[in-house]
A and B are shown apart, each in its own frame.
Chain A
Amino acid sequence: MEFEARHSPQLIEVRMTGRLEFTDHDSLPDIVALLDRPGLEQFMLDLSDLAFIDSAGLGMLLILQEEAEQRNAKLVVRGPRDDVRRSLDLARIGDILTIEY
């Protein structure tokens, strides 16, 4: 998985591409570090260009939500498609995370 981030004072947006899977744990601290911004209110995770996510990747989304909440920011997952949406639906992640399709 590769990611790129852009931000405004209250919003940080991370766009993931490729495959988010168990070998991507080493990327997680780098993404969490992006949240350390005073005044951050929303963390937008754009999955529209992500091709695959496994159960470990879903776990990472939940970790990112917890890290965002600890900083009083709200995580919104945007645009999951195809196999990624299948995995999110299968695990009923929409019951836990805010997802914008």
Chain B
Amino acid sequence: MTSGVPWTWLGSVTSSRLNIESALTGPALSPARAFCVVRDRVPADVAARAASRFGLAKEGAGSSRSTAAMLVAEASRDTVRRALDQNSFLTVELTELEDTTGAIDGDWLGAPPVEHGFYLSLTTGTAYGMQCAVLVCDELARRGVLRPERRGNIELCLHEAIANAIVHGNMGIPSSAKEKPEGYRLFGQLLKERLGDHDVRQRRLDIFARWSGDSLNIAVVDQGGGFDTTALPEQADGGAHSGRGFLFMRALAKRVSVTDGGRCTVLHFDL
């Protein structure tokens, strides 16, 4: 029988698994950061294994809220918002497997913590329908990064990048499905099928926002099969039912870069 760990600081972590910060600029802080658990029924052994996986030191050692990480289980919109409210750097949704077995073996990516940034990792099943772009922009506004007059364009760009990552990336549904006769019915059917696929639901959507005085960069990363980045459309094809997402991003962002074979889209904005 395990006991709950309500909002417990677990220690500092010194390792990370991915280097997407190379696409973003600016110096990293000390890699030390703390973990805590958002939900009070996350078992103690899950917390202990999280500490073990990330090489955590003794509880509370070297921690600061600005570089903390939150583990979120059974993430709802309110739960994620509550986690972000803690001003942590990392906010990671535990997978169902991690939550029930304490395995802590999800392949969420992570990045070295930075003072002016945050990193959100959700499963596809959770991210679908959560309106993640609204959530992220709310958080950027709450942290004083995003002015109301800049929000509309940035939120649309981020929404398009996230939609691509979820639908075409993690769900593996091609845009071409919409262009067939009655393609919208096929597309809707594929969405329903993929949302019912456990493995698809567990694939991760990672969002890394980082800012300096006058610029904001947001990376959106998926775990799909990628795509041919040279085949992106330069303009929409008349009445085509798809293909405008990247056009929106290119029109509204200062720059859009796509790396990792199409799995990572980085949006660059002036603030």
Q: Report which A residues bind B (CB closer than 8 A).
A: 19, 21-23, 25-26, 28-29, 52, 54-56, 58-60, 62-63, 65-66, 82-83, 86-87, 90-92, 96
Tell whether A91 pairs with B187 under 8 Å between CB atoms, given A21-B159, A21-B163, A54-B163. Answer: no
Interface positions, chain B 127-141, Cβ under 8 Å from A, are: 128-129, 131
A52, A56, A63: the one within 8 Å of B163 (CB): A56
Cβ of A87 and Cβ of B248 under 8 Å apart?
yes
- What's the tally of chain B residues with a CB closer than 8 Å to chain A? 31
- Distance between B145 CB and nearest chain A CB, rounded to angstroms: 20
Asked if A26 and B188 sit within 8 Å, CB to CB, the answer is: yes
Q: In the bound complex, what is the Cα–Cα distance between A91 and B242 (angstroms)?
A: 11
Determine which of B129, B160, B184 lies in contact with A55 in the assembled complex, contact meaning CB atoms within 8 Å: B160
**Between A and B, how many residue pairs show CB distances below 8 Å?**
74
Chain A min CB distance to B159 (Å):
6
Contacts of B244 in A (CB 8 A): 55, 58-59, 91
Inter-chain contact A26/B192, CB cutoff 8 Å:
yes
Residues of A within 8 A of B77 (CB): none
B239–A83 CB distance below 8 A: no
Task: Report yes or no: B239 in contact with A96, Cβ–Cβ below 8 A.
Answer: yes
Binding site for A on B (CB under 8 A): 128-129, 131, 152-153, 156, 159-160, 163, 166-167, 178, 184-185, 187-188, 191-192, 236, 238-245, 247-248, 251-252
Q: Are A63 and B241 in contact, CB atoms less than 8 angstroms apart? A: yes
**Which A residues touch B128, using CB under 8 A?**
23
Closest beta carbon of chain A to B241's beta carbon, Å: 4
* Sampled A-B contacts (15; CB under 8 Å): A25-B187, A26-B192, A28-B188, A54-B160, A55-B163, A55-B243, A55-B248, A56-B245, A59-B240, A63-B184, A65-B239, A83-B156, A86-B153, A90-B248, A91-B244
